[in-house]
Amino acid sequence: MSTHVNAPTQTSNQSVLPARQAAAREDNRAQTARRVSWGLLAGHVMALVFGLGGLLIALPNPELWSDSATGRDVFDFGMTYAGSMHIIFGAAAVFALGMVALGWWRTAVFFVLSTGISLGSELVGTGTGWPFGNYEYTDFLGYKVLDRVPFTIPLSWFYMGLACYLAGVSLARLIGRRWRVGTTALSIGLGVWFLVVWDMVLDPAMAHEDLMVQFWTWSETGPYFGMPAQNYVGWAATGLIYMVLSRAVWRRDPDPTAYPASFPALVYVANIVFASALSFSVGLWQPVVIAVMLALLPLLLGLVERDAGRAVPGRSGHLAARR
């Protein structure tokens, strides 16, 4: 009788064990991806700081390093690689985050669409002046595709685009719960908004004549601190297209509980700080104020609200307990 009773139990245990092992392997992969993403984010931030040091300290003060062979080597390395290094680290960090937040397939979809569409827009833009205006890249951002667009530019569209989109997803979830509105279009809209505001503080500084190294140059001017308004329309359109297409292929919104909301926020803040430091260095404080008011404050207030909702289980009813 005992054999008859135990046989189904043994069979059940044998069927459950592989499932548990598969779940454990999946959890290990997720934990590894999280650790890798944070490590790469640290590398991204350090590369941004290194780049700022070169642009704002080493270039204007050659007496600090020109008498040292090591100093000259570091300076030469920075001039050759610093422009592309922080972008590569950023793309790798956000791709690793995507593995956690979206899974490898959805991350790959966003990567292909964002880099492909942005590269197409940039190639058309540098050749025709549409959709951004009349501009061209210098040689400080790495190898150029078709001798026009540095290979790092599509990578920056990817990592900042996905960071902005995921930050928008987290903020849209909070807004949606409070005001009972749909979050799909709101997430994409906020993602595009964050992306454009980043360029509003970055572009005037990176091409400014007082910056000792220009990363791109404009052959036309415009009303926004010398930038043509068309540039920002082109930015919004490009970001909107690849975010909408990615969401259409995914067929569902990202789950904001699947990733730490602080990660895309940190990516965004680090890049805003980088652009703000460059803006201050050339006497442009207004774009920094615009970025803080239109993007940083809403983003950071959203994080505070999210944490407060977690800390107070009774807040906003049963929804707060599920955040």
Segment 273-316, tens digit of pLDDT: 999 999 999 999 999 999 999 999 999 988 887 766 555 444 43
Q: Please report, for residues 142, 196, 241, 245, 298, the alpha-carbon distance to residue 174 in angstroms, rounded to integers and kept in the order given.
A: 39, 22, 24, 24, 11
Shortest CA distance to 163 belongs to which of 93, 276, 267, 47?
267
Q: What is the pLDDT of residue 55?
A: 94
pLDDT at 13: 58
- Evaluate whether 309 touches 315 at the Cβ level (below 8 Å): yes
Looking at residue 22, what is its pLDDT?
63
CA-to-CA separations, 129 to 206, 215, 218, in angstroms, rounded? 19, 17, 10
State the pLDDT at residue 15. 59
Residues 142-174 as b or e (16 or more Cβ within 10 Å = b):
bebeeebbbbbbbbbbbbbbbbbbbbbbbbbbb
**Chain position carrying tokens 């025709």:** 128
Q: Where do the domains of the chain lie?
A: 2-53+81-321
Alpha helix (H) residue ranges in the chain: 2-53, 69-77, 83-101, 104-128, 152-179, 184-206, 229-250, 262-281, 286-291, 297-311, 318-321
Strand partners, 227: 224
- DSSP letters, 226-273, are TB-HHHHHHHHHHHHHHHHHHHHHH-S---TTSS-THHHHHHHHHHHH
Q: What is the DSSP letter of 63?
A: G
Question: What Å distances lie between residue 113 and 44, 73, 90, 116, 164, CA to CA?
Answer: 23, 38, 17, 5, 15
Question: Beta strand 144-145 with 135-137: parallel, antiparallel or unpaired?
Answer: unpaired
pLDDT in tens, 193-231: 999 999 999 999 998 999 998 899 999 999 999 999 999
Q: Which amino acid, one-letter code, is at 273?
A: V
**Dist CA 278 CA 272 (whole Å):** 10
Per-residue pLDDT of the chain (323 residues; tens, 9 = 90+): 444 555 555 555 555 667 676 666 777 777 888 999 999 999 999 999 999 999 999 999 999 999 999 999 999 999 889 889 999 999 999 999 999 999 999 999 999 999 999 999 999 999 999 999 999 999 999 999 999 999 999 999 999 999 999 999 999 999 988 888 889 999 999 999 999 999 999 999 998 999 998 899 999 999 999 999 999 999 999 999 999 999 999 999 999 999 999 999 999 999 999 999 999 999 999 999 999 999 999 999 888 877 665 554 444 333 333 33
What span, in angstroms and rounded, lies between the C-alpha atoms of 214 and 41?
25
- Quote the tokens at residue 183: 């979050």
